[in-house]
Amino acid sequence: MAKKLIIVGGGHASLPVIKMAEKWKRYDLEIILISENPYLIYSGALPQFMGGFYEWNQTTVNLKKLCERYSVRFVESFVESISKDQSTVWTTGGERYAYDYLLINIGASTADFKDLQNAVPVKPMDELLSLRKNLKRGEIEKLLIAGGGAAGTELALNLSHPRSFTSTDITLLENNESLLSSFPAKMSDRVTQILQQRSVNVQTSKKFQPAMSKEYDAVLIAVGNRPGSLSITHDFETGAGERILTDETLRVKGEQTVFAAGDTADVNGRDYQAIGVHAVKQGVLLRHNIESLLTGGKLKRYKPYAVNPLILSDGPDNAFYVVNNFAWEGRWAAILKYVLDMNWLEKYSKKPGYRRSYIELLRDGVKRSG
């Protein structure tokens, strides 16, 4: 009987592994992806999607199609518990799946404000879809964005952009003294200035209280996330913030055939920032390390990039390129972001031969930014 690799959660880090399924059949391995959603929302593209600058197919990877293409069995279900002693995964529907190899990549979710009927968490990202529909229909006159970190501020920039499809009245609330408090101060000032010029009501040094929600048609909650490992029952060792603890090869501590990656994993106690850059890079390492396990090869260690540059979008024609304490702004950064976003997305959403080359992406990026 074929051995089974179960992937729990179709996050950014899982995609390179899914693409190996056809090849790994030679090792008598079957891959099953269990994901609560049939698509992955690419976080880098989401803020522009919310402003109407990216289409759905420029923001998501259709996991069902990807699995079909590479002969992976796709199960649309939420995994509620995993037992390492029984090497078994259970879904909310009561189905059980025994595994020989396991990859846990269930991301993160935003602090829960379930009692608030008009609150929409920024994570899981699919919850933003109904908000987008309501904004597009003009049903949201007053929107509160709670949290002026990278996610909340980038969403505010795109929603308030002059070419956005919504003209909703936006308030952006931040607990710290300034927006983007972990970014260069000059960039924070510049972004605040842009938002204020667009009549966004920026309120700093003010903590979100649930009672505030009454004054708004919708509240977008972007006040920070907790790892997905807290939403399931499991008996693996945990590290910082209850993330599942792995060693440097991304193998869960004490386990030989179980991996964890992305926002839900604490790699060797280093508690890396929960950003897609790590998840994406870890995906490539997982592909190598799982194959090494199958072939008796040597596992490699996770080495993050020396710096993690981040591009914060402000519509299709402007963006901020940030490296450590330095930030640059310009149309060129928006074009670069488009090229990087679409290049990554098309690797998983288009068949080989149908993807745009860097030159085509650059040409399209220049065109849309004009």
Ligand X SMILES: Cc1cc2nc3c(=O)[nH]c(=O)nc-3n(C[C@H](O)[C@H](O)[C@H](O)COP(=O)(O)OP(=O)(O)OC[C@H]3O[C@@H](n4cnc5c(N)ncnc54)[C@H](O)[C@@H]3O)c2cc1C
Q: Which stretch binds ligand X (CB under 6 A): 33-41, 186-194, 320-328, 345-353?
A: 33-41
51 belongs to the binding site for ligand X (CB under 6 A): no
40 belongs to the binding site for ligand X (CB under 6 A): yes
Query: Of 149 and 171, which has the nearer Cβ to ligand X?
Result: 149
Among 16, 51, 52, 124, binds ligand X (CB under 6 A): 124
Sign of the alpha-carbon torsion through 358, 364, 368, 370: positive
CA distances from 204 to 29, 141, 173, 180, 188 (A): 53, 22, 6, 11, 12
Neighbours of 215 (CB within 10 A): 10
The two structure tokens encoding residue 152? 């909340």
Query: Of 27 and 247, which has the nearer Cβ to ligand X?
Result: 247
Among 21, 61, 151, 361, binds ligand X (CB under 6 A): 151
Q: Which stretch binds ligand X (CB under 6 A): 121-129, 158-166, 196-204, 347-355?
A: 121-129
Q: Which stretch binds ligand X (CB under 6 A): 159-167, 236-244, 261-269, 297-305?
A: 261-269
Residues 327-346 that bind ligand X (CB under 6 A): none
Among 308, 303, 328, which residue's Cα sits nearest to residue 318? 328
**Separation between Cα atoms, residue 11 and residue 172, nearest integer Å:** 28
CB of 217 closer than 8 Å to CB of 116 = no
78 belongs to the binding site for ligand X (CB under 6 A): yes
Alpha carbon 42 to its chain's center: 6
CA distances from 141 to 20, 52, 100, 224, 252 (A): 47, 17, 52, 25, 47
Mark 299-328 with x for binding to ligand X (rule: CB under 6 A) and - for no binding: -----------x------------------
Among 7, 10, 48, 72, binds ligand X (CB under 6 A): 10
CB of 193 closer than 8 Å to CB of 118 = no
Residues that bind ligand X (CB under 6 A): 8-13, 34-37, 40, 43-44, 46-47, 78-79, 105-107, 122-125, 151, 154-155, 228, 231-232, 262-264, 274-277, 279, 310
